[in-house]
């Protein structure tokens, strides 16, 4: 078997595709294996679609660095390749005087992380910018925007194919065995017989299944602290023509442990408005929206957006976050590493790629390409 420069990527979400686009062309025989019929059917199509600026994440963390770099790269990619986006800016709104101290802390943290143009604005300026939003002050983040994430994935997929990569669907990776100088990957394809092939480098971008894929390679995921906790985020759409009443993304001050950024207002590229996501740890993947949560959404939105009426809200969709941070625990960073010290050189794991994973995707791709360079 010839292992030389074979790279196999498990998962065709935005992260796997971004990496494929980055490494194809530089390396021969790059394969992406995806268990679904099409790319981007899981986390990458059930999110807020926000290009974050890098405010919330601990200084020096991968989340902070890759988000700030990804923000810049995404706008460049969108401009150059005609991918839909709007750099409309975002406001984190303090609903009371007690919350204004947190705005200052967020501004300092974001500034240190490299988020551009952050500025605290007074109630008067908030009224001028967003007359329909209620608050005592706000943190303005002009570098925040929204993106057509499906078009972004299409771009990465096309780039990868141009570079010679092959993206194959209905390929469920069910076995990983170490060989000398690489890995044997076993794949299930519907009712057909399983097949195996060899790869020199194996990159795990399996999103909600990344811990299980790491386990397939023999990693003790409890010991490595790779076990995922699923956190569901639901969205409610806002009808009644209320979408015309704000022009930026509107967020509350986040809760202390940052398990989520708080139920916020997002607008999509068609101008549709929605509220969400909330955050609830769940045992399994289930995308239904609990209509019983409508009161919670209504009450938290009403604090900032007095114009919202109960009947404006309709359940829309849900996504699941692949979190390393369990209930009550502190924030955890992305894990992106070559597992040489676990006896698995050339096996690169990406674990816990929750938000800001979409924003960070082109920067994650560069980061992984550098790891790959160090191997080949
Ligand atoms: C509610 C919510 C809101 C979010 N909002 C934002 C936001 O506004 N901005 C932002 O930057 N980020 C946001 N994120 C985060 C962002 O969406 C994710 O970080 C990103 O989409 C993760 O992409 P991925 O490629 O790692 O995972 P996925 O898109 O899930 O891709 C993983 C792929 O691996 C495949 N796979 C899994 N196991 C196997 C196997 N054994 N064999 C073959 N294929 C396999 C899956 O089928 C899947 O297609 C949000 C996430 C959620 C849940």
Give the mean pLDDT of 126-131: 98
Question: What local confidence, expressed as pLDDT, does residue 263 receive?
Answer: 79
Site to substitute for ligand 1 among 206, 258, 268, 349, most atoms within 8 A of C-beta = 206
- pLDDT band for position 307 (cuts 50, 70, 90): very high
> Which protein residue has the closest C-alpha to ligand 1 atom 18?
357
User: Ligand 1 centre and the CA of 156: distance in Å?
Assistant: 15
Percent of the chain with pLDDT over 70: 97
Per-residue pLDDT at 2 exceeds 80: no
As given in the structure block, the two tokens for residue 318 are 């849900």
**Considering only 217-221, 223-227, 256-260, which range has the smallest mean pLDDT?**
256-260
Nearest alpha carbon to residue 24 among 177, 170, 187, 157: 157
> Which protein residue has the closest C-alpha to ligand 1 atom 25?
13
Give the mean pLDDT of 167-174: 97
Question: What local confidence, expressed as pLDDT, does residue 259 receive?
Answer: 58
Pocket of ligand 1 (CB under 6 A): 10-16, 33-36, 40-44, 46-50, 52, 171-173, 205-209, 213, 233, 277, 319-321, 353-359
Average pLDDT value for the chain: 95
> Which protein residue has the closest C-alpha to ligand 1 atom 15?
355
Per-residue pLDDT at 27 exceeds 90: no
Q: How do residues 107-121 score in pLDDT, each as one tens digit?
A: 999 999 999 999 999
Q: Which atom of ligand 1 is nearest to the CA of 353?
A: 19
Per-residue pLDDT at 345 exceeds 60: yes
Give the mean pLDDT of 333-338: 98
Q: How do residues 192-211 score in pLDDT, each as one tens digit?
A: 889 999 999 999 999 999 99
Site to substitute for ligand 1 among 207, 279, 282, 352, most atoms within 8 A of C-beta = 207
Question: What local confidence, expressed as pLDDT, does residue 193 receive?
Answer: 87
Per-residue pLDDT at 146 exceeds 90: yes
Question: What local confidence, expressed as pLDDT, does residue 254 receive?
Answer: 85
Residue pair 155/81 in contact by the 8 Å Cβ criterion: yes
Give the mean pLDDT of 163-191: 95
Give the mean pLDDT of 143-150: 98
Question: What local confidence, expressed as pLDDT, does residue 143 receive?
Answer: 98
User: Ligand 1 centre and the CA of 38: distance in Å?
Assistant: 13
Question: What local confidence, expressed as pLDDT, does residue 3 receive?
Answer: 47
> Which protein residue has the closest C-alpha to ligand 1 atom 4?
47
Site to substitute for ligand 1 among 19, 22, 44, most atoms within 8 A of C-beta = 44
How many whole angstroms separate alpha carbon 16 and alpha carbon 42? 12
Q: Which atom of ligand 1 is nearest to the CA of 235?
A: 1
């Amino acid at each position: 078997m010839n292992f030389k420069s074979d790279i196999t990527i498990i998962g065709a979400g935005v992260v796997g595709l971004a990496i494929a686009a980055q490494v194809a062309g530089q390396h021969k025989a790059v394969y992406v294996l995806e268990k679904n019929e099409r790319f981007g059917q899981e986390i990458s199509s059930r999110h807020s679609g926000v290009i974050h600026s890098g405010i919330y994440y601990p200084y020096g963390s991968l989340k902070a660095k890759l988000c700030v770099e990804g923000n810049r790269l995404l706008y460049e990619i969108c401009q150059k390749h005609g991918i839909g986006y709007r750099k409309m800016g975002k406001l984190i709104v303090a609903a009371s005087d007690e919350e204004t101290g947190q705005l200052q802390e967020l501004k300092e943290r974001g500034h240190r992380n490299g988020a551009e143009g952050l500025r605290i604005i007074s109630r008067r300026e908030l009224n001028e910018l967003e007359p329909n939003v209620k608050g005592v002050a706000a943190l303005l983040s002009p570098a925040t925007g929204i993106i057509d994430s499906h078009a972004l994935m299409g771009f990465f997929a096309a780039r990868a194919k141009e570079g010679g990569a092959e993206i194959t669907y209905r390929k469920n990776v069910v076995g990983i065995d170490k060989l000398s100088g690489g890995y044997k990957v076993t794949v299930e394809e519907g009712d057909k017989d399983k097949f195996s092939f060899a790869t020199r480098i194996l990159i795990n971008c399996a999103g909600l299944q990344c811990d299980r894929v790491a386990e397939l390679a023999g990693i003790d995921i409890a010991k490595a602290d790779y076990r995922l906790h699923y956190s569901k985020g639901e969205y409610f759409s806002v009808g009644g023509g209320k979408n015309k009443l704000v022009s930026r993304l509107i967020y509350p001050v986040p809760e202390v442990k940052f398990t989520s950024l708080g139920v916020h207002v997002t607008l999509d590229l068609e101008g549709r408005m929605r509220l969400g996501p909330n955050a609830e740890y769940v045992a399994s993947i289930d995308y239904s929206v609990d209509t019983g949560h409508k009161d919670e959404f209504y009450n938290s939105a009403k604090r900032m957006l007095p114009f919202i009426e109960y009947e404006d809200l309709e359940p829309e969709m849900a996504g699941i976050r692949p979190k390393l941070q369990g209930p009550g625990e502190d924030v955890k960073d992305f894990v992106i590493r070559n597992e040489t010290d676990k006896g698995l050189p050339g096996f690169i794991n990406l674990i816990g790629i929750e938000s800001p994973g979409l924003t960070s995707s082109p920067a994650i791709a560069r980061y992984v390409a550098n790891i790959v360079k160090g191997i080949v």
